[in-house]
Amino acid sequence: MTKLKDWFYNNNSWSHTKYELWHRCKRKFWYQNIAPYLLDPGNLDVGKISMLKSLTPKYALQGRIIHEILEDQMNKHNLGREPDQEAMISQYLKKVQMYENTSRTTIAEFYNGAPDETFFDQIRETGVTQIHTFFSDLWPHIKGNIYIRHETFDKVLVDSTKVLLKVDYISQDPGGILIITDWKTGAEMEDSPINRLQMGVYVLWASEYFQKDPRDIRSELNFLSTGSIHPYLFTETDLDDIWALITDEFRIMNSTYEYEKFPRNPSSNHCIDCAFKAICDQG
Ligand code: SF4
């Protein structure tokens, strides 16, 4: 039977990103969440797996950088300074350059031998446009609200399951409604089940943490690609359904840690950007 290090059992948790990965490819889930904690890895090179885990896929890079610099700007906002558009653009371009200089060891597709000559120029252009959109369309929507917190790791217990989350920005509007904001840098899409689950988990946590009725919490997806805002509202029944889904899925995810029970799910959609392609037989 596969045994894992104590750290895993003490810190094992559910998150909407783990849920998404679980449904995309269970083998990738195993490499990402189980392999690094094997008590006896045998011939498996756990050091290499941990290194691969740190690779960023191309599709996630722009979002990662924009979230990092937004976090920095919100830290300053919390200290009473207005977010600075020019500083953000400068920070963004510096970080893109840093990744371009190290792409073969930091970006999954480049590591996997599929470099893309135009990628960094593309994200330079789209990222700067998104920063402009943030300042013209999205920030004005919440900047008058009372700041509550941002980018903090939080957790909520769902029965005995630890659920981890990190909300981008929380504020309170003049009417006392708590506004949970999630910044999305990908393409705007109609309501997707994973987005709804993510926002539902945030509301589940916020209703406990702030002792608020879910009707007094509004969660919003803010799309930096278009400037659109998608609001979500959840009832007690919606949150009960999310509660049940988390407990069921977490039990299934942890019913075994045997490698063979986590099958590959090869697909041209998600293998090319998989950090573990190099060690996955069919990647
Ligand atoms: S390369 Fe494809 S099949 Fe293999 S682990 Fe990654 S996503 Fe799964």
Q: What is the pLDDT of residue 283?
A: 44
For 276, phi and psi rounded to 5 degrees?
Answer: -100, 10
What is the atom index within ligand 1 of the atom nearest the CA of 276? 6
- pLDDT, tens digit (0-9, with 9 covering 90-100), for 130-146: 999 999 999 999 999 99
Looking at every residue in the chain, the average pLDDT score rounds to: 94
Domains, the chain? 146-249 (3.90.320.10)
pLDDT over 50 (residue 6):
yes
Using a pLDDT cut of 90, give the percent of the chain over it.
83
Q: What is the pTM for the complete model shown?
A: 0.93
Mean pLDDT over residues 56-62, rounded? 94
Q: What is the pLDDT of residue 271?
A: 86
The residue nearest atom 7 of ligand 1, judged by CA position, is 271
Better-scored residue on pLDDT, 114 or 249: 249
Structure tokens at 38: 């094997």
pLDDT category of residue 191 using cuts at 50, 70 and 90 = confident
pLDDT over 90 (residue 182):
yes
- pLDDT, tens digit (0-9, with 9 covering 90-100), for 202-247: 999 999 999 999 999 999 999 999 999 999 999 999 999 999 999 9
Q: What is the pLDDT of residue 281?
A: 64
CB environment 121-144: b (16+ within 10 A), e (fewer): eebbeebbebbebbeebbbebbee
The number of angstroms, rounded, from the C-alpha of 242 to the middle of its chain's C-alpha atoms is 18
Q: What is the pLDDT of residue 270?
A: 82
Mean pLDDT over residues 48-73, rounded? 94
Structure tokens at 47: 């050091």
**CB of 266 shorter than 6 A to ligand 1:** yes
Instruction: Compute how many other C-beta atoms are within 10 angstroms of the C-beta atom of residue 214.
Output: 20
33 CA distance to ligand 1 centroid (A)? 14
- pLDDT, tens digit (0-9, with 9 covering 90-100), for 76-105: 988 889 999 999 999 999 999 999 999 999
50 CA distance to ligand 1 centroid (A)? 16
| Of 26, 268, 269, 280, best ligand 1 pocket probe by most atoms within 8 Å of the beta carbon | 280
pLDDT over 90 (residue 277):
no
Q: What is the pLDDT of residue 268?
A: 82
Q: What is the pLDDT of residue 250?
A: 98
256 CA distance to ligand 1 centroid (A)? 19
Q: What is the pLDDT of residue 190?
A: 76
92 CA distance to ligand 1 centroid (A)? 30
149 beta partners: 170
74 beta partners: none
Mean pLDDT over residues 11-38, rounded? 96
What is the atom index within ligand 1 of the atom nearest the CA of 275? 6
**CB of 30 shorter than 6 A to ligand 1:** no
151: left (phi over 0), alpha (psi -120 to 50) or beta: left
The residue nearest atom 1 of ligand 1, judged by CA position, is 283
> Which of the 8 DSSP states describes residue 119?
H
Better-scored residue on pLDDT, 96 or 283: 96
What is the atom index within ligand 1 of the atom nearest the CA of 25? 8
Strand-pair category, 146-158 with 229-232: unpaired
**CB of 278 shorter than 6 A to ligand 1:** no
pLDDT category of residue 61 using cuts at 50, 70 and 90 = very high
Q: Where are the alpha helices (DSSP H) in 12-135?
A: 16-24, 26-33, 46-53, 58-78, 85-101, 103-106, 108-111, 119-133
The residue nearest atom 5 of ligand 1, judged by CA position, is 28
Please state, in angstroms and as integers, the Cα–Cα distance from residue 64 to each residue in 71, 127, 168, 183, 258, following that order. Answer: 11, 11, 12, 11, 32
Say how far apart CA 241 and CA 193 lie, in whole Å.
13
